[in-house]
Structure 1
Amino acid sequence: MPIDFDDPANARTYSDRDVDPSWDRAITGVLDPRGRTVVDIGCGGGVYARAWLRLGAAAVTGVDSSASILEAARAQAPAGLDLHLGDAAATGLSAARVDVVFARALVHHVADLPAVVREAHRLLREGGRYLIQDRTMADVDQPGNERHPRGWLFDVFPRLRQVEAARRPDDASLRDALGAAGFDAPSVRRLWEVRRRYDDREAYLAEIGTRTGRSILHELDDDELSYLVSELRGRLPAGPVLERDRWTLWCAVR
C-alpha cells in the first residue's frame, strides 16, 4: 500500500542524510540562491531546506502536511529555517513574498496538480522561480547498475513500474498546469543526483530493508522486501556503494 506520511513510524524516513554536491551544482546552474527567500513545499525532514540555507539563501520556509515528519525536521532545523504545517495546495503562507518555490519529489504524491501549481504561483513575487524536481517515466526507466540500483527494483518486481506509471508526472501535463497558472514555459534539464554514499553494501541494504526514504518500497509486503534485499545483495559488490538517481528539473518563471 502507499506510504502513510502521518504514521510516526515514518517520521524520520526523510530526515537523516545530507544533500550531495551534485544537487548543489544543478541548482546553482539554474539560479543563484544567495540572498533569496525560499519556500520548500513538501519539505519532509528538511534535508533540502537546510541545503538551500547552506547555499546562501537568506531564509527558508519548509511546508509539509505531516506533523510527525515536521517534528523530526525541527530537531535538526538551523537558524533561518521556519517549518510550517500545511497542504501543498493551500499552504496558508502570505502571497507574493518569496523568490523561489521548490518542490522535490512532491508532485507525484499530490491529488490535484493544477491546484498545487496555482499555490506556488500565488506565493511567488513577480519574476520568482518555481523549481520542480521529480521523475518522469524516462527517469524511472533508467536501467539498474552498481551506481543506480534503484533501476533494479523494477527488474525484480515489474509491477512497481505500473505504480510509478500511475503517479509520475509527464512533461506535457506539467507544462499545461504551469501555463494555466500563469507561469512562463519552463526550462528543463536532467539531473543525476548522488543520493547517498555508503561505506559498504550492507549499509545500503539496511536502508532498503527498512524502506527508509523510498516510498515505492511501501508497495511491497515484508516477504517481498526481504526477497528484494536478497536480490540486490547478489547484484551489488560487497564494497562501498555510491547511489545515484535520475531526475528531471523544471524551472518556471512567474
Structure 2
Amino acid sequence: MEIDFHSPNNRSTYTTRNADNSWVAAIKSLVPIEDISKAIDIGCGGGIYSKALSDMGASSVTAVDFSKAIIEGAKENCKEYKNISFKHGHALETGLKSNEFNLLLERALIHHLKDLPACFTEAYRILEHDGTYIIQDRTPEDCLVKGSNRHIRGYFFECFPKLIEKETNRRHASSFVIDSLKKVGFRKIEEVTLWETRKVYDNKAKLLSDLRERTGRSILHELDDHELIQLLAHIDASILTDHTIIEEDRWTIWKAVK
C-alpha cells in the first residue's frame, strides 16, 4: 500500500533528521547561498531542507507542499525559524507570484510527478531572471546500486525484486530531465552525482528500528508487515558489523538557470 501523504498519522514522517553536511557542501558548490534573498522549497516535506537553506544563509524561505498534514508537521519542525513561511500548494500550480524567487529547490519531488514539463514551466514562471533551479532526485540507475553497509536501500531491491519495477518506473531518466529543462527555457544546465549521508546509527539495532517504522521511506510502504519483517531479517544477516553505521544514498542533482 502506498504511503498516504495526507494522513495525519504521517505528518511527522519527514521531520526526524537534519540535512547532512554532505548535502550542504554540494549545494554550496552550486549556488552562492549567502546571496540568496528569497528561496523556495517546493515539496518541502517536513521542512528539513527548508531549515538547511535558512542555516546556510538564505534570507527568507517559502516552504510549499501539497499535503496539509505534512505542512503541519513542517511548521512544528521549523517553529524556531522566523524566516520560513509555509504555503499549501502543488508543484504544477503554486499560486505564487511570477519572477519572485532567486533560488528554487525541489528535492525528492519529481518522481511523484508525471508531467515534468508542467512542473518545470511553473518553476520557470516563479523564478526571477538569473534565478537558480536545483532539482534533486534519483535516476533509475541511482536506484539499483548494490546494497552494502553504507547503501542500505540496495538491500530493499535485492530482497524484494518486485520493488525494482515500482521504483524505476517512477524515476525519470537524466536525459529526459535535461531535455525538458531546455525546452522550457532553462540554461546553464549542470548535472552532478551526490552520495548524501542520510543518517548515522550507533549500531545495527538502531538502523533496524528506524527501518521498522518506515520513517521517511515511502518505498517501504509498498511492503506489508510480514514482508517488512523479512526485509529486516535480510538486512540483519547482510550487515556483519554492529558498530557505527553511516547510511548513504546516491542522488542526481540538476542545476539550471532561468
- TM exceeding 0.5: yes
* Residue 74 of structure 1: aligned partner: 75
SS where residue 75 of structure 1 aligns?
A: helix
1:239 deviates by 2.0
1:98 deviates by 0.6
1:14 equivalent in alignment to 2:8: no
Q: Deviations over 1:173-210 (max 9, x none)?
A: 11222122111151000000001111111111111111
Provide the identity percentage: 41
Q: Distance in 1 between matches of 2:50 and 2:128?
A: 19
Q: Deviations over 1:66-92 (max 9, x none)?
A: 111110111122111011110111111
Q: Deviations over 1:139-186 (max 9, x none)?
A: 112111101111111100011111111100111211222122111151
* TM-score in terms of structure 2 length: 0.96
Q: Distance in 2 between matches of 1:205 and 1:91?
A: 38
CA contact (8 A) 1:179 1:185 kept: no
CA contact (8 A) 1:45 1:69 kept: yes
Letter in 1 for 2:232: V
Aligned-pair Cα RMSD in Å: 1.0
CA contact (8 A) 1:134 1:247 kept: yes
Q: Distance in 2 between matches of 1:174 and 1:185?
A: 14
Match of 1:240 among 239, 244, 248: 244
Letter in 1 for 2:14: Y
* Residue 142 of structure 1: aligned partner: 145
* TM-score in terms of structure 1 length: 0.97
* Residue 125 of structure 1: aligned partner: 128
* Residue 157 of structure 1: aligned partner: 160
For residues 159 and 185 of structure 1, do their structure 2 counterparts lie closer, same or farther at Cα, with a shift above 3 Å needed?
farther
* Residue 254 of structure 2: aligned partner: 250
1:48 equivalent in alignment to 2:49: yes
Structure 1 consecutive aligned stretches of length 4 or more whose deviation exceeds 6 Å: none
Q: What are the ranges of 5 or more consecutive residues in structure 2 without an aligned counterpart?
A: none
Q: What are the ranges of 5 or more consecutive residues in structure 1 without an aligned counterpart?
A: none
1:86 equivalent in alignment to 2:89: yes
Q: Distance in 2 between matches of 1:220 and 1:114?
A: 31
Q: Deviations over 1:36-77 (max 9, x none)?
A: 121100000000000000000111001001111110111122
* Residue 188 of structure 1: aligned partner: 191
* Residue 170 of structure 1: aligned partner: 173
SS where residue 53 of structure 2 aligns?
A: helix
Q: Deviations over 1:8-41 (max 9, x none)?
A: 1111111111111000110011011114121100
